[in-house]
Structure 1
Amino acid sequence: MKYARALPAYMVQRYHGWKATTFAENEAWYARLASEGQRPRAFIISCCDSRVHVTSIFGADQGEFFIHRNIANLVPPFVDDGDHHGTSAAVEYAVTALKVAHIVVLGHSNCGGVKGCHDMCSGNAPELEQKSSFVGRWMDILRPGYERVLDIPEEDRTRALEHEAVLVSLENLMTFPFVQEAVAANKLTLHGLWTNIGDGDLQQYDAETKKFVSV
């Protein structure tokens, strides 16, 4: 592949630093992870945003979380067409192969994908309306959430839509037959979270009050 190039120097330096410290000090643990395979307790679906560092938020070690990241932490509804579905494949593997006990959908403040959805649905991002826009077609998943926030004051609408990105994903998770079965059998629980990047607040969705509350 002629377009592949060597890593930037700063990444190489950071790797060697990690190998000489963190890895060297825990070499037996890494060997055990490699030989015994992974047994994560939770599957985390979070945004690609570089500011959202899932393992740091929860102080997780290697092997503890199975993590899937995509634009705006969205889960599409279940479809049985055998096409390429990266997020759906991750859900299937987490539930049926790894048998995780928890699925966590983690949204966040100032999400660019959610803002793009808001702009697109409100007619202010025609480029995302194009059929050729991968981002636009992905953000179509969130259109039902946009419809639910139209009666909210405009200055609060984007934050509400960030919450809807979590709720729409939870709703869509329950369209997967194997997720339904695991939940019904009390082998799997679903959780909706939202984090404020600026102040570190973490909120969870309370199904009884239908609100996000600080944990």
Structure 2
Amino acid sequence: MIDERRLREAGAVLAAESARFASMGWMRGTSGNLSLTLDRDPLRLAVTASGFDKSELAPEHVVLVDGKGDLLPGDTRGLIPSAEAGLHARIAAVTGAGAAVHVHAMAAVEAGFHWPEGVAISDMEMLKGIGHSAHGERVVIPVVQNSQDMVELGDRFEAVYRRPAGGIAEVPAIIVASHGMYAWGEDVAAARRHTEITEWLLRFTVRTRAR
């Protein structure tokens, strides 16, 4: 059974985040998507619906999906989950994330093009914002090849996801080649912060790369 009040509350949160990222040019038109994890057992996520301009997203433009990213029965509004809902569900299941963000930031696409094996970053103060030291660490943002099959793309994500002691990933973000980036966190604020900081780090790395 769908808790419509709870879903609408999640929609209001995602609509605000969507407007924020659209204003940065990272969610142009209907591109990009966001999710909130509402339940763990079984896994349930509020995900932005397909086909809506992200600068004008409304609280009702979200749907409830299961652990595979499929629309739960009972929603009679005719909305369709984002085509990438399945990857959001996999990220939530594997990382324990409470929220995930997918944007088409140009810096991520450029970085994935230049460093298809992963984008190495070190000695940057902003690394603190994604859980690392400003100096003395070499952090790698993984890059995976794109796929329209979310199971296949999820497998690629899981293959490069780091699980050191403590269960924290090396970085809470991944680049999908020729597409964009995903970032996640324990809640919406953390997912937003990780998205913005990772984009900044990628933009700097692209701009200063050896010609």
The verdict on a shared fold, with TM-score over 0.5 as the criterion, is no
Q: TM-score, normalised by structure 1?
A: 0.25
Give the greater-gyration-radius structure (CA).
1
Greater fraction of residues in strand: 2
Which protein is richer in helix relative to its size?
1
Normalising by structure 2, report the TM-score: 0.25
